[in-house]
Amino acid sequence: MEEKIEFLAKHKNWFVVKKLKIDENTEDIEIARLLASIDETVSRKFLEYLPFDLKKLEEIADQIYVKKKGRVKEEEIAEALKKLKSPAVSRKLNEITESKEGKEILKIILNNIILERLGIETRVPSRLIEKYIEKEREYEP
């Protein structure tokens, strides 16, 4: 059987195909790049399918930390994380859902929003892996 990775999604107007045939010349880093690309696609899209008011979640995020240009100071990071984990935020999430599991989902999404605004990456972007591959190939003998 042929080795390959295939990701196919079609729902309403959303259609995406990502494929990679794997053979003896395929490097693991190429597989990692494709998997990171699939992860990016899924991570962005799955939010659209959640039954929550994500605009309200963005408003909560704005009360915690608004992204600014330039370097983020350590004090800003500490203050944002302190606010993020406060009981006040948990109470605000009650305005979106009263479900314990729903609040946990929203907390995780909110964590990711705030970390991203603070410039703290939680995933390796596929474009960074692509750049890595390009640079490595430039230096191969």
Rounded-to-integer distance, Cα 136 and Cα 18, Å: 23
Per-residue pLDDT, 40: 95
pLDDT digits (tens, 9 = 90+) for 91-123: 999 999 999 999 999 999 999 999 999 999 999
Report pLDDT for 68: 86
The secondary structure of the chain as a DSSP string is: --EEEEEEEEETTEEEEEEEEE-TT--HHHHHHHHHHHHHHHHHHHGGGSSS-HHHHHHHHHHH----SSPPPHHHHHHHHHHHTSHHHHHHHTTT---HHHHHHHHHHHHHHHHHHTT--SS--HHHHHHHHHHHHHT--
pLDDT bucket at 72, cuts 50 / 70 / 90: very high
What pLDDT score was predicted for residue 139?
81
Q: pTM of the full predicted structure?
A: 0.87
Higher pLDDT, residue 136 or 36: 36
Q: Kindly list the domain boundaries of the chain, sorted by start residue.
A: 4-49, 54-118
